[in-house]
């Protein structure tokens, strides 16, 4: 049961790792309208946040997989398990902060980039899981 909970926590972190950048990218117009920060500043801050989150999140998830989940092949369930959590986060965000002003909707390019990112994201999870499992194998054999 503990492994199942740890697997779900890792899946939640995977969902958050993709949810936060997509929501920030989709809400640039809303952030601009509410805070009156220029688009250039928002874009630079978003880029910096994306880089920090991608690097920090990858390192965090790599160590969590290696330490919590070990070298089980059941770790690959996270490739599928992050999807319901992502949908739940998107629904909760859309329900909590509905778009009431038509100018706040995301442009088509942002939506296209989000779709491409969501299609490629399971491959990213596979790579992290594979590296985490193989790194766990090497550390357990060395000991």
Cα-to-chain-centroid distance, residue 113:
14
Q: Which domain, by its residues, includes 33?
A: 2-142
14-31 per-residue burial string, b: 16 or more CB within 10 A, e: under 16: bbebbbebbbbbbbbbbb
Segment 33-73, tens digit of pLDDT: 889 889 889 889 999 999 999 999 989 888 888 888 777 77
* Number of domains forming the structure of the chain: 1
Q: What is the pLDDT of residues 108-137, one digit of tens each?
A: 898 999 999 999 999 998 888 888 777 755
Residue 95 CA to residue 2 CA, distance in Å, equals 32
Q: What are the angstrom distances between the C-alpha of 11 and each of 5, 16, 76, 129?
A: 10, 9, 10, 11
User: What pTM, to 2 d.p., does this model score?
Assistant: 0.84
Tokens encoding 74: 């059941």
| CA–CA dist 25, 18 (Å, integer) | 11
């Amino acid at each position: 049961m503990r492994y199942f909970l740890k697997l779900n926590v890792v899946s939640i972190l995977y969902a958050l790792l993709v949810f936060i950048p997509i929501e920030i990218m989709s809400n640039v117009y809303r952030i601009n309208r509410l805070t009156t920060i220029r688009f250039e500043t928002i874009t630079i801050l978003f880029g910096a946040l994306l880089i920090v989150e991608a690097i920090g999140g990858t390192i965090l998830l790599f160590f969590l997989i290696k330490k919590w989940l070990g070298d089980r092949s059941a770790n690959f369930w996270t490739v599928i398990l992050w999807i319901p959590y992502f949908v739940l986060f998107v629904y909760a965000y859309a329900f909590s902060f509905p778009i009431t002003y038509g100018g706040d909707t995301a442009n088509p390019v942002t939506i296209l980039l989000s779709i491409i990112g969501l299609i490629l994201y399971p491959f990213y999870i596979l790579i992290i899981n594979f590296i985490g499992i193989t790194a766990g194998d090497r550390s357990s054999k060395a000991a």
